[in-house]
Every structure is written in C-alpha cells, then in structure tokens.
Amino acid sequence: MRITSLHIQGIRQLADLELAPVAGLTVIRGANESGKSTIQTALEMVLFHDPTSIAPALLDLRTWGTTTDPRVRLEFEHEGRAGSLEKVFAGARGSVELSFGGTVSRDPDEVRAIVADITGLASEEFLRSTASVRHGELDDLDQDALRDRLQRSISGAGEGTQAAHRLLAEAVLRYRGDGGEGSGRIDRTRDELERTRAALVAGETSLAQLERDRSALALAHDRRADLDARLVRDQEQVEVSERAMRLLTSATESEARYMRLRQAADLQERINAAERSHPLPMPLPELRARTQRIKELQFQIQELEVLSELRGVAPSGSVKTVRPPRWQPLALAAIVALVAAIAVAAAVSVVGLLPGLETWGLAAAGILLLAALVFGLMSLRKARRVRLAKAQAQMQAAEIDRRLQGKGQEDEQLRDARRERDALLTVIGVPDVYAADTLLERAAAHNAGVDELRAEQRGLLAGVEVTGDVIAERDRAAAEMEQSRHVLSALGGAGIDPAALREQALRTLQGTQTEREAAIQDEGLAQGRVDQNEVDAEQVALLAERIPALEEQLAAMERRVRVYDLTLATLDVAEGDTVKQAARYLEERMGDDVARITDGRYRQVRVDEHDLSFEVWSPELPGWVAVQQLSEGTLDQVYLAARLGLVRQVTQGRRPPLIFDDPFVTFDDDRAARSAAVLKDLAADHQVLLLTASDRYDDIADAVVQLPTPAARDTDGPSADRLPQMLSGGSLTTGANGAGPHRSASWPTLDVTDRAPWVVAG
Amino acid sequence: MPRLLHLSDVHLGARHPGLGASAPKLRERQVAALRRAIDAGIEARVDVTLVAGDLFDSNAQPRRMVEAAAIELRRLTERGIRVVLIPGIHDSWEGGSIYRVFDLRLMAGLSEGSDLLTVLTPNRTEVLFRDLDLLVYGRVATTRRVGRSPLADFTVLADDRARWRVAMVHGTIVGAADDDREDVRFTAEEIAASGVDYLAIGHAHGWHTGRSGGTVWTAPGSVEALEPEDEDAGRVAIVELAERSGRKSVEVSEAVVGRTRFSSLTLDAAEFVTPAALVTRLRTLADPDVVLDVTLRGVAQAWLDVDPAALSAGLADAFLAVRLRDDSQAAAPGATDAAPGSFERTFQDVLATHIASADAAHDARTAADARAAVHLGRQLLADPRQAGLI
C-alpha cells in the first residue's frame, strides 16, 4: 500500500493540511508544534479508528475554536490499483467510505477488514507496535518497560490482549478461587450442591421413614380397628354363651317341669279314668246319705215290726212307773249352812263376839260355807235327775199313749218306711241294705283311690305353676322345652356346653382386650413417630428442584472456566509461539540492520524467546553481551532494528507505509545517519514517512515536506478567545525536492505553554 | 337426573425438578386449579364429584397439604355435593396411604357416618346414593403395580340396586399389543363388559373420552399441565346422566380450569451475539402462564455464554419459567485476516489444531470448548471490555 495523498482537516493544529507522500522516503520536516505527530495520529485514525466512536479522547482532537468534525482522507495505491479512504469523526454521525477495486464500502467493520488486508496490519495496536514509531518512544521507556512493549509488539498483543489476559485470569480466579477453601464460585456452588444433595438424601430418607412410619401407623390403626371389632365379637360371644347358659337353665327347668307335668297329666288321666269307671251312678255323699237313710228306715221298720209284734203279745199295764228323787232337802241344807257360815263369820269379824276364838270361828264359817256349796251342788244334780225322770216318764206315758192310740197308725208308718226303703234301694240299684252298705264301702274305697291319685298329683305339682288343665299345661311345657332345645341346638357348640363356651369366650375376650391395649399402645407409638418426623415433603421437593439448577449452574461455570482456561492458555501459547517465531526471525533479520546502524560493531543478535532479552556478540570479549549493558543509544538502535524486523515479519508480503516520528533524536550523528540509511533501504520496499524537526535527512529523502511553523505569540497574556485566530491561517508550499504541496511557513510562531494540549504529541 | 363433576390427577405437592425456583409457583397453581375445578362443579350444580385418583402426588405429603385439599372439598360438601375419591398410583392405597393415615371426611368437617365424602378402597368398593338412584363403584388396586386389570371380571349388569351405575378407576386403556409400560392397565373390552353407564378414569394427563359398548368413559387429565407432554391438560368433565325418550343418555362436556402451558421454542444461535439479545428476543413472547423451553441450535458466531439461571431470573416476570437447552455449537475458526505468524493468527491456529485433534478423538466437549474459546478470544482481543462478555 502506498499513500498518494493525505488530507487532514480539523485535527488539532492542522485545520486543513494536504500532503502527497512519495513512494520511497518522504521526510516531513517541521518545527516543534508544527503538527508532525498529529500527522502520525491522523494516519492511525484513518486506518483504524471507528469514525462513530464517541470516545472523549477522539473528540478532543478537534481543532480548538472550531466545530468542524475531524476529517481525514487518504488516497492510496495498492497492487497497481488506486483507492481512497475517508473518515469523518463525528460521533454517532461519523462516517467512512472506502473506495477500492471498483467497490465502495461504508461499513466500518468491512472497511477495517479491507484495510487490514491491504496493509497486513490487523489493528491500530499492531500498527503502533510495529509500523508506527512515535517520537521519544524508544528513549522515554526504561529497559523493562521497553522489553514489555517489545514483547507485546513482537507478539502482536496490545493492550487488548493484556486486558483479555487479565480479565480471563481474574474470571478464572473468581470462579476457581485462590486455592483457599470455598474461595471460588465453583467451589461455593459445588459445596452448595453437595450440601443440597446431602440434605436431599437426608430428606428422602426421612420421607421414606415417614412413609414407613405412616405405613406402620396405618397397620396399627387397622389392627386396632380389627381388635375393636374382635372385641365386640368376643363380647357378643360371651353374651351368647351367657344366653346359652340361660337358655340351658331354662331348658332344663322346662324339661323338669315337663316331666312333672307329664306325670301329673298321667295321674290326671288315671283320675279321669277312675272317675269314668266309678261304680255308682251318683256321688258318694248322696249314696252315703241314701244308704244311711235306708239303714234308718230299716231300723224304723224293725222297730215298728217289733212294736207290732209286741202290741199283739203284751198288755199295756206292764209299764213300770219310776218315782222321781227329791232335791229340796239338800237345797235347804245348803241354805242353812250358808246362813250359818255368814252368821259365824259376821260374829267373829264384825261383832267380835268370840274374842280369842276368831280363828276357830272363821274356820267354822269356812266349813259351813263348804258344806253349803256341797249341798247346793248335790241339790242341783238331784234336780236334773228329777227333770230327766220326769221327761222319761212323760215319754213312757206318751208311748203308752201312742201304743194305746192304735195299731193302724203304726202299720201305716211301717208301710211308708218299707216303701221309702225299697225306693231308695231301687235308686241305688241294690236289693237290700247290706248290698247298699257293701256298695257304699266299695264306692268309698274307689273314691279313696281317686283321692290318693289326686294327692299324688298335688305332690307332683307342688311348686309348679299350673293355670288350668294339667294336660294342656304339660303340652305347653313340652312346647317350651322343645323351643329351648331348638334354640340351644341353633347355638351350636354353645348350646352343648355353654359354661365351657363362656369360660372360653371370657378367656378370648380377655386376650383380645390385652391385645387391643397393646395395639392402642402401638398405634400411639406409631402416631408419635409420625408426629416426631418433622420432614416436610415440600421442603424436600425444593431441594430436589434446586439440585438440577445447581448442577446446570455448576456445569455452566465449569464449561465457562474450561473455555476461559483454554482461551487463556491459548493466548499464552499464541504469545509464546509468536514470540518464538519472532525471536528467530529477528535474530536472522536484525543482524544486518544492527551491523549497518553500528557500522559493523555488532553483527550478531540473540533473542531470548522467553523474556525477549537481547544479546549482541561483542567482539572485544569475545562473547554475548546483554543489550542493557550497552549505551542507551545503542540500545535504542537495537530495538529500532527489532521493530523494523518485526514489520517485515508481521506484514509478510504486504507493504504497509511506515511512519517514524523522530526516532533517532538520541542517536549520535553518525548512527543517526546510518539509521536513516537503513530507513532508506527499508523505503525500497515500504513507503516511509519520516517526521522530523531536523534537516539532516533531507539528503537521503525522496521528498521533503516542510510544515509551517506556528508563528502566533501570546503578547497579551492568556486569552482563550484568541486561540482560533492563532490556529488558523497558513498555506501549503511545495517542498524543495519536488514533493507535494505543503502549507507555507507563514504560521505564527507559538510558544509552548502548558495551555497547549498538543505539546505532548511533539 | 344425577350430574357429576369428574376430575383427576391434581398431584398436589408434586415435584418439578426442571423448573427450579419456579417450581413452588406451579405447585400453587395446582391448588388454584383444584379450586377452579370445584368452582366449575358448583357452577354446574353437580350432585356428585368424582376424584379419580392422584389427588396427591405422594403419600408423604404433609398434613397441611391434606388440609388444603380438605378445605377445597369442604366447599362441595357444604353445598350437599357428594365427593367420592379413589386412590391413584401416586397416592396409592398400599402402605401408609394418605387416605389411611388421614381421615379426609373428618378433616372436611364431616361426621364419621356422613356419605358426603367417601373414599373408595379395596375394602370399601362402592357407595350407594339412594336419593340419586346412583351407585358408584371404585375399582381400586391394592398396590401401585398390579398384574391384573382392575376391571377384570367386573360387571354390574346384574346389579339392580340403582338406576345409574358409575365406576371409577385409575389406570390406562391399552390395546392387546401393549407392552408392560403402564402400571395399571385395562382394555376397552373390559370397559364394555363392565356394564356401567359411565367410567371415570384417572391417570392420563390429557383429555380423552369415548365409548366402549354401552359405557361412556372419560379421562379428563390433570387439572393443570405439569409437563411439556401435558398438551390437553387443565380440564375437568361435567357429566350429565339423563333419560332421553326412555333411554339412558350420558353427556360429557369439558370445563377448562388449568392455565399453565408448556411451550418450546428453537432459536438459531447465530441470531444472537450476546445473552442480552436473547433476553430481548424472548421478552417479545412474554406470557406469565407459559413454561418456555428454549433450545439454542445452529452455529453461534460469537461467544454466547448464556447462564440459564440468570436467563430464568431475568425473565421471571415474563414467563412462569424459562428453561434453556443450549445445543448450539460455536462456529469453527474460519479464515482470518491475520497475517501468518501474527498473534491472532497463531491464537486461532493453535485452537484449530486443538479442535482437529479433539474431533479426531471424538471428544466433542473439548472440541466445543475450543470453538467457544476461538470466539471468546477473538471478541476479547477486539474489545476486552465488551459488556457481558466475561
């Protein structure tokens, strides 16, 4: 690439400058502050700066006192084709236009890529590290800094690489930590993951235990419910057995009652049969009364028959009259004795007639009283005998009268008696009194047998409640007995031996109660275990849900760090490889340049690929000498040679323009001349722009451009409003060697003051 | 005529490992979906609610979860609506089943003898509602995995205790050629042979309904979508048992109670240079009811280091959850403008060699890392302070 025209507008003190560098070495000469470094900056800007950048540093480049946006236009030739590149730096309004090879591009990235392709310089950093050597860049740096810079230059790694390296290292440190426990994010995440996993395992274990506990609780609950049911059944069994016992008792009683009733019924049937086979047509009392009557009538008949016989045999005067006894004397004697007793007693006790004989008097009175009593009783007895005798006498008299009244009446009575007796015998069904009496005896005996049966029946039924007919009662008892037996048989075994069953049922019930109590206790314990297990399924779920996120997070971190590591390692490898290649290349190419610059004093250069330290072969020793041991000027020359070599290396077949801003100011005149000669040689392949304040390179230059010297002077002291006037003006003049037009040297002379920001650029 | 609310697979307390910090939100949504399902039943004036299994996601749920369910069920019983439940596979009857440990009836404030809430089990297989002339059978397996169909030899054709006969089962209808994948299986032929008027099925998470013989069956699916596969989830069935011209008629309609949806989105990683660009793009699709599965595919042209946790957190207000799967691959290092021997060229050459050897060794991870390193290195070298790069 060869620049054919460079037009700079509105950048620092260069309000409007147009240059036309030649193909070889173009020396752009100007006094201090004439804008030499600004030209270098403008070249860097047009090649690599983003025109839309709003970086303050870029905007600060605007020419003081103007609002014109910085603009740089470059016309060039590359591989026989002309092109142009123009950039206007206006922040977001900035623009770029590259016209080359028949195409026009306005895309900053595309333009950047094309520029990189044309120049062989990937970036501005690369340009600055190789093809653009700034004023004082070599002599202002200490040796270590210089080496670092050179290292970056050789490796192609600019600030971006270092920043990338630093960012990656910091990120890796952030993720991996400094080796301390849990100091990195990965460790912390891994720890959290492990803790979460452990908590999940514990949670799952607790949940499994909870399920087991709940299962045990359910089983205990079911078992208790079963035992509740069993208890009810057992209680029912006890009740059944007790009922069976009652039924059995009842059945036994029914059977006993039935047996007695059955016997009683048998007796009743015998009684009934006996009553049905009674020998008389009438009840026994009637028979007895009739028989008695028959016997009385028979006696009467016999008496009448005797009388009748007597009336016919004995006279009536034969009846003896009985004289009645007398009772009155005895009654009189009793009265007398009584009176006497009263008199004696009165005399003794009341009148006192017999003093001293009171005892005897009283005794006599007593005896008299006793005698009166005896005589009284005897008189009463005699009086009764008298009444009996009188009655007998009256009867005898009446009999005698009756007998005497007539025989026809007696015959009548006899006939009536006989008739009545015969009628009664007929009723009874016997021929005579004897037979009647016999019949009566038989009937009495029959009734006695029946009575005996009844007595036996009463004995059987003692204590047995019988309402009504015994036979019916027996039948009822039989039915009851049958029913009891049926119920018992329906109870199965219980009906056979209810007592044993009850005993067994009670034992079973007791066992069930014991089991139930144990089951209740088990249920309580199981419930307790469930209640004590405080695991929360939702919390465990949160853990389970957290783990995949943590795993994903950890995997992402690990991948990230792997990529960081790989990137970092590759940066190091790339840097190392690049440096290694560069070191070998430099060793090959620097020797000639160093020899030329040092006039053959040093011809061999050795580059350490690790620390990029340079050594030169010292002919005095002879041996290798570290460049740091050489003079500062020689050191600068070595590094200049190194950079020139680098340019050759990194641009390979491409030929970017090289820009040098007074790199030889620390060189003595000879070495400066020799260095310039090197540049001259370099200019055979590259377009070289040498910015300098000196005219000592004019002779070797293919063209010289003289920049106008600022002429303004601050005669009135600081006054900002005058600055635009000071920076304006001037015109281009054509250099002595026929180079392109340049501004005339009519610029006002300007003192360097600390108010001028561009002084740092030289 | 009886009207039924049929729901299943609420999976209260379910774990959602793929949702990370959003999992509790989905659990809350499940409770809310149950609430809406019950609201739908109340609004439809149903007589009986059938919960066909997996009301709970496991038998290890805490008491408060059971109480939360009981509170919701109580809203039905307070209105005289009977509730009949059967255990499912997740909350199976075996071991410490939640239905054995907790008495839902008592927790719903009902007395022990109430028929307003009934859990049908292997021990109690049916409940008869005389006033509705309705008999509900529960075909409950004793264990999670049974070798025998719960509908095998099940028929109610001879049962004339009620005019309407409904059965509940938790399992999957399978064909004859089905393999052993499902835990509880039964066939359409068994459904037809059952003779019930309506078979309430649980287990499937999507809506399915049909008729086998004279039996109408429905599997309404889970009340809320729980997984990306639950496409037809979030529904409950309203079932009307009626007489039409002297013939039995079973009409099934659906009510949507779930709100959560799972969506998947595949994006070309080449479209995004930074994670922020990806977030910006996803924000245009914001929907707080959506669990969005984003898959990055294609070839990333930059170091696109998306932190899934940060992405999910950054979009927490836009989606229920965002899950990222990065299947993209960093572009292989291509032609470079860097001169041979230059640092950048060497950097890329080194990584290219690394990638080549990793590819040769079939070490995909190392190759992918190396490709990513190429982009990261390039971007760092171009602008180390690029926001969000590291």
Please provide the DSSP assignment of A206-275 as one string: HHHHHHHHHHHHHHHHHHHHHHHHHHHHHHHHHHHHHHHHHHHHHHHHHHHHHHHHHHHHHHHHHHHHHH
**Pairing mode, strands B198-202 and B164-170:** parallel
- Tell me if B376 and A563 make a contact (CB, 8 A cut-off): yes
Judged by DSSP in three states, B251 sits in: strand
Minimum distance, in Å, between the CA of residue A604 and any CA atom of chain B: 23
Minimum distance, in Å, between the CA of residue B303 and any CA atom of chain A: 10
Residue A371 makes CB contacts below 8 A (sequence gap 6+) with A333, A334, A337, A341
More confident residue, B145 or A2: A2
Q: Which of A143-157, A287-301, B344-358 has the lowest average pLDDT? A: A143-157
Q: Which two tokens stand for residue A469?
A: 């007919």
**Residue A481 confidence (pLDDT):** 84
Phi, psi of A248 (to 5 degrees): -65, -45
- Tell me if A651 and B339 make a contact (CB, 8 A cut-off): yes
**Residue A741 confidence (pLDDT):** 40
Number of H helices, E strands in chain A: 19, 14
Judged by DSSP in three states, A56 sits in: helix
Rounded-to-10 torsion of CA A574, A576, A579, A583: -140
Give the sign of the dihedral formed by CA A186, CA A188, CA A194, CA A199: negative
**Residue A406 confidence (pLDDT):** 67
With beta carbons under 8 A apart, name residues in chain A contacting B351: 566, 570
- Tell me if B338 and A217 make a contact (CB, 8 A cut-off): no
Mean pLDDT of chain A: 80
Dump pLDDT digits (tens) for A606-651: 888 777 778 888 888 888 988 878 877 777 777 777 777 767 666 6
Tell me which of B101, B103, B327, B355 to substitute to probe the interface with A (most A C-beta atoms closer than 10 Å): B101
- Tell me if B380 and A530 make a contact (CB, 8 A cut-off): no
- Tell me if A541 and B15 make a contact (CB, 8 A cut-off): yes
Judged by DSSP in three states, B370 sits in: helix
The whole-angstrom separation of Cα A566 and Cα A560 is 10
* Proportion of chain B in helix, strand, coil states, percent, rounded to 5: 30, 25, 45
User: What's CA A261's distance to the chain center, in Å?
Assistant: 77
**Does residue A29 carry a pLDDT above 80?**
yes
Judged by DSSP in three states, A79 sits in: coil
Dump pLDDT digits (tens) for B142-173: 777 667 789 999 999 999 999 999 999 999 99
**Residue A138 confidence (pLDDT):** 53
Q: What is the H or E stretch that residue A282 is in?
A: none
CA angle A21, A26, A32 (to 5 degrees): 105
Residue B288 makes CB contacts below 8 A (sequence gap 6+) with B317, B318, B319, B320
- Tell me if B96 and A215 make a contact (CB, 8 A cut-off): yes
Place of tokens 């190194």: A642
The pLDDT-based confidence of B58 (bands split at 50, 70, 90) is very high
Interface of B with A in 22-51 (CB under 8 A): 23-24, 27
Place of tokens 């020797």: A591
Instruction: Give buried/exposed letters for A473-484 (b at 16+ CB in 10 A, else e).
Output: bbebbbebbeeb
Nearest to B16 among A545, A567, A581 (CB): A545
**CB of A167 closer than 8 Å to CB of A159:** no
Amino acid letter, residue A343: A
Dump pLDDT digits (tens) for B208-249: 999 999 999 999 999 999 999 898 899 999 999 999 888 999
Q: Which two tokens stand for residue A58?
A: 């870029």
- In DSSP notation, A712-752 reads ---SSS--GGGHHHHHS---B---TTS----B-S-PPB---
Amino acid letter, residue B57: D
- Tell me if B307 and A553 make a contact (CB, 8 A cut-off): yes
Q: Which letter does DSSP use for residue B85 in this model?
A: E
With beta carbons under 8 A apart, name residues in chain A contacting B385: 163
**Does residue B48 carry a pLDDT above 50?**
yes
CA-atom Rg of chain B in angstroms: 28
The whole-angstrom separation of Cα B331 and Cα B374 is 9
**Does residue A59 carry a pLDDT above 80?**
no
Taking CA atoms, what residue in B is nearest to A216?
B96
The pLDDT-based confidence of A757 (bands split at 50, 70, 90) is very low
CA-atom Rg of chain A in angstroms: 86
**CB of B267 closer than 8 Å to CB of B243:** no
The CB density around residue A619, as the number of other CB atoms within 10 Å, is 12
- Tell me if A167 and B380 make a contact (CB, 8 A cut-off): yes
Task: Kindly state the average pLDDT of the residues B292-309.
Answer: 87
* Percent of chain B residues topping a pLDDT of 90: 67
Nearest to A207 among B19, B60, B308 (CB): B60
Amino acid letter, residue A575: E
Minimum distance, in Å, between the CA of residue A563 and any CA atom of chain B: 5
Residue A491 makes CB contacts below 8 A (sequence gap 6+) with A240, A243, A244, A247, A498
Taking CA atoms, what residue in B is nearest to A119?
B339
Place of tokens 């054919």: A4
Rounded-to-10 torsion of CA B44, B49, B54, B60: 110
**DSSP collapsed to 3 states, A476-502:** HHHHHHHHHHHHHHHCCHHHHCHHHHH
ipTM of predicted assembly, 2 dp: 0.91
**Does residue A693 carry a pLDDT above 90?**
no
The pLDDT-based confidence of A458 (bands split at 50, 70, 90) is confident
Give the sign of the dihedral formed by CA A721, CA A727, CA A728, CA A730: positive
Q: Which two tokens stand for residue B24?
A: 């509790």
Taking CA atoms, what residue in B is nearest to A584?
B341
Q: Which of A282-296, A306-320, A538-552, A685-699 has the lowest average pLDDT? A: A306-320
Mean pLDDT of chain B: 90
**CB of A8 closer than 8 Å to CB of A38:** yes
Closest by CA position to B27, among listed B81, B83, B65: B65
- Tell me if A578 and B342 make a contact (CB, 8 A cut-off): yes
A252: left (phi over 0), alpha (psi -120 to 50) or beta: alpha
- Tell me if A544 and B17 make a contact (CB, 8 A cut-off): yes
- Tell me if B337 and A117 make a contact (CB, 8 A cut-off): yes
The pLDDT-based confidence of A721 (bands split at 50, 70, 90) is very low
Minimum distance, in Å, between the CA of residue B102 and any CA atom of chain A: 9
With beta carbons under 8 A apart, name residues in chain A contacting B20: 545-546, 548-549
Minimum distance, in Å, between the CA of residue B219 and any CA atom of chain A: 27
Tell me which of B347, B354, B365, B369 to substitute to probe the interface with A (most A C-beta atoms closer than 10 Å): B347
The whole-angstrom separation of Cα A529 and Cα B219 is 38
Give the sign of the dihedral formed by CA B161, CA B162, CA B166, CA B168: negative
The whole-angstrom separation of Cα A194 and Cα B377 is 33
The answer to whether B339 contacts chain A (CB < 8 Å) is yes
The whole-angstrom separation of Cα A658 and Cα A500 is 128
The sheet with strand A605-607 has its strands ordered as: A605-607, A614-618, A623-626
- Tell me if A210 and B96 make a contact (CB, 8 A cut-off): yes
Dump pLDDT digits (tens) for B324-354: 888 888 887 776 666 676 777 888 888 999 9
The whole-angstrom separation of Cα B188 and Cα A622 is 104
The answer to whether B346 contacts chain A (CB < 8 Å) is yes
Closest by CA position to B188, among listed B227, B219, B147, B165: B219
Taking CA atoms, what residue in A is nearest to B58?
A537
With beta carbons under 8 A apart, name residues in chain B contacting A167: 380, 384, 389-390
More confident residue, A239 or B48: B48
With beta carbons under 8 A apart, name residues in chain B contacting A212: 95-96
**CB of B36 closer than 8 Å to CB of B257:** yes
The answer to whether B363 contacts chain A (CB < 8 Å) is no
Judged by DSSP in three states, B250 sits in: strand
Nearest to A650 among B17, B97, B341 (CB): B341
**Pairing mode, strands B208-212 and A703-706:** unpaired
Q: Which two tokens stand for residue A561?
A: 């760090």
The answer to whether B351 contacts chain A (CB < 8 Å) is yes
**Residue A746 confidence (pLDDT):** 35
With beta carbons under 8 A apart, name residues in chain A contacting B380: 160, 163-164, 167-168, 567
Q: Which two tokens stand for residue B201?
A: 């099925």
